């Protein structure tokens, strides 16, 4: 079981780093892609970028399942925010929010699935040992 845990921790670290890179890309996107004149998508990128940054750093320091659920929610928010906030007609910020949101959402879902799979394997192993 130790090898499986180590594999999860290694891939988990990579996914957390990926989320951190996505958060930084989101934070820089208004300036890099020149949409700072549009306040709603700029503020959305700033706020959600900071939230994902904090959660990714926390996850890098010590894994907790709740962090991944919040990152998943942040990714889902990014996907729907162009319509929820009314900037879906602006192509660049909409594309940024959709792409970063979808990537963050998929990575967080993968991490949660992987964690649940590890926990199920641990429980099965413990049941076999106690039987």
Give per-residue pLDDT as tens, 14-45: 899 999 999 999 999 999 999 999 999 999 99
Give per-residue pLDDT as tens, 55-112: 999 999 988 889 999 999 999 999 999 999 999 999 999 999 999 999 999 999 998 8
pTM, to two decimals: 0.83
Q: How far apart are CA 23 and CA 101, in angstroms?
A: 10
> Could you tell me how many residues make up the chain?
131
Q: At residue 2, does pLDDT exceed 60? A: no
| Helices 39-61 + 2-32 axis angle, to 10 | 160
| Helices 91-130 + 2-32 axis angle, to 10 | 170
CA distances from 21 to 13, 29, 45, 95, 111 (A): 12, 12, 14, 17, 16
Q: How far apart are CA 103 and CA 79, in angstroms?
A: 10
């Amino acid at each position: 079981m130790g090898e499986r845990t180590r594999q999860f921790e290694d891939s988990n670290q990579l996914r957390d780093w990926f989320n951190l890179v996505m958060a930084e890309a989101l934070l820089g996107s208004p300036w890099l892609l020149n949409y700072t004149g549009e306040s709603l998508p700029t503020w959305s990128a700033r706020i959600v970028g900071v939230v994902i940054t904090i959660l990714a750093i926390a996850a890098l320091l010590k894994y907790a399942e709740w962090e991944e659920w919040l990152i998943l929610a942040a990714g889902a928010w990014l996907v729907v925010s162009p319509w929820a906030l009314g900037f879906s007609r602006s192509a660049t910020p909409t594309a940024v929010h959709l792409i970063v949101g979808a990537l963050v959402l998929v990575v967080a879902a993968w991490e949660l699935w992987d964690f649940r799979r590890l926990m199920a394997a641990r429980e099965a192993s413990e049941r076999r040992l106690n039987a």
